Amino acid sequence: MPNIACNLLYNNGNEGTYVGFAGPCTIGNIAYNVRKGDGRWCSQPRCSCRIFYDRDFSGALSNEPCNESFLFTKWEWNAGENFETREPFYLRQPVEGKVAVLTTIFAGQKERDRKIVGFFKIDRCIDEKVVFADNTYRLRLLRDEADELNFWEYHRNQKGTQPDWRQGRFRYLEDDQTAAFLHDLAAVVQSGASRSMILDLLRSDFRAYAETRPVVNGYLAAEAVMRTLLKRKYGKGGESANHRNLKNYIASHPEIIGLERRFVRAKIEHPYISGDLVDILFEPVDGGTNTVVEIELDIVVPGVHQAIKYRALRCAELGRPLDDLSVRAVVVAWNIDRVAADLCRRYGIEFYEHRL
């Protein structure tokens, strides 16, 4: 049985820290949706928002003018209808017990930027068109969490080379696509309780993918994996400018750590299968020594431990013993104190001080 991705028209009702979809839109967003047209419900003559717009925003407006306006209050979603024929759209495959991934395009953005704003496990489906959320597995995202999750990182159309929803209120998702999203969501959410709930859902409903994030063929899948790894490494605030500048400088000037530029090629943020990223990997052009480099600024001891790990991971990646001398590890930092220097000597980590 498939999961589903739902196409939501952007609703900013009661939007603040959290995404909207919990009340009628503001006047500005009503005007945006009506003028946008493109066959959306908001521009249809029968829509109460369109009627409100045509009255120059005078009179009353329904508190629930569309499915989107009560999505996160009633926790239900409707597959909708063809506005010309009024024929309902039906979920022809069983979806009870599966996951509904809720997506939208925020005002002013393009289809490529389609974001995921929440999800729920489907408790029941009525008349093959209305689905209701489970009470346990459901989540309305914070706005800055939603900004991190692009739908097209997980899904690709069977035909075509560009992200394109084309038409319809929903499409089906395979388990690996949904599990990849849930893994990334667990890394993005700020609430520990939400993270535990997501991981519990993975263990109970996506056992084949519970421990390892599957690699999926979305339009932006490669970008998604790297973004997730960088977020895990540098945290929500991202990499500092000073760290990035020093990293890029060392990558361009390997002679600072005793390497000849013509004999090596630098890979910045080289990913390991473990999900770790080493700041710089210098690969030999024709055999020779591999060098992993960890960049730090003032607090160096954690970086020494990272260098020890990255050297071991590189040995494993090359299929060599962990004490293979053809793989060296280096720490470059602004300042290296006595404690960090002693730790480097104890474990055979070379160290250099360099400040731009």
**Residue 41 resides in a domain:** no
Answer with the one of 212, 234, 256 that is the final residue of a domain: 234
**Residue 38 resides in a domain:** no
Q: What is the mean pLDDT of residues 164-174?
A: 87
Q: What is the mean pLDDT of residues 146-163?
A: 85
What band does 159 get if pLDDT is binned at 50, 70 and 90? confident
What band does 221 get if pLDDT is binned at 50, 70 and 90? low
Asked if residue 227 lies in contact with residue 185, where contact means CB atoms within 8 angstroms, the answer is: no
CATH of the domain at 303: 3.40.1350.10
Per the structure, the complete domain to which residue 78 belongs is given by 3-24+63-234
* pLDDT tens-place string over residues 49-89: 999 999 999 888 888 889 999 999 999 999 988 877 888 88
**Residue 36 resides in a domain:** no
Q: Does residue 228 share a domain with residue 258?
A: no
Answer with the one of 206, 234, 262 that is the final residue of a domain: 234
Asked if residue 30 lies in contact with residue 42, where contact means CB atoms within 8 angstroms, the answer is: yes
195-221 burial: b if 16+ Cβ within 10 Å, else e = eebbeebbeebbeebbeebbebebbbb
Answer with the one of 213, 234, 255 that is the final residue of a domain: 234
Q: What is the mean pLDDT of residues 36-40?
A: 74
Determine the Cα–Cα distance for residues 226 and 229; give it in Å rounded to an integer.
Answer: 5
Q: How many domains does the chain have?
A: 2
Q: Does residue 79 share a domain with residue 187?
A: yes
**Residue 292 resides in a domain:** yes
Q: Does residue 179 share a domain with residue 133?
A: yes
- Cβ atoms within 10 Å, residue 261: 12
The predicted pLDDT at position 180 comes to 92
Determine the Cα–Cα distance for residues 291 and 300; give it in Å rounded to an integer.
Answer: 18
The predicted pLDDT at position 191 comes to 92
**Residue 163 resides in a domain:** yes
Closest to 15 (Cα-Cα) out of 150, 142, 119:
142
Q: Does residue 221 share a domain with residue 308?
A: no
**Residue 32 resides in a domain:** no
What band does 259 get if pLDDT is binned at 50, 70 and 90? very high
Whether the per-residue pLDDT at 316 is higher than 70: the answer is yes
**Residue 58 resides in a domain:** no
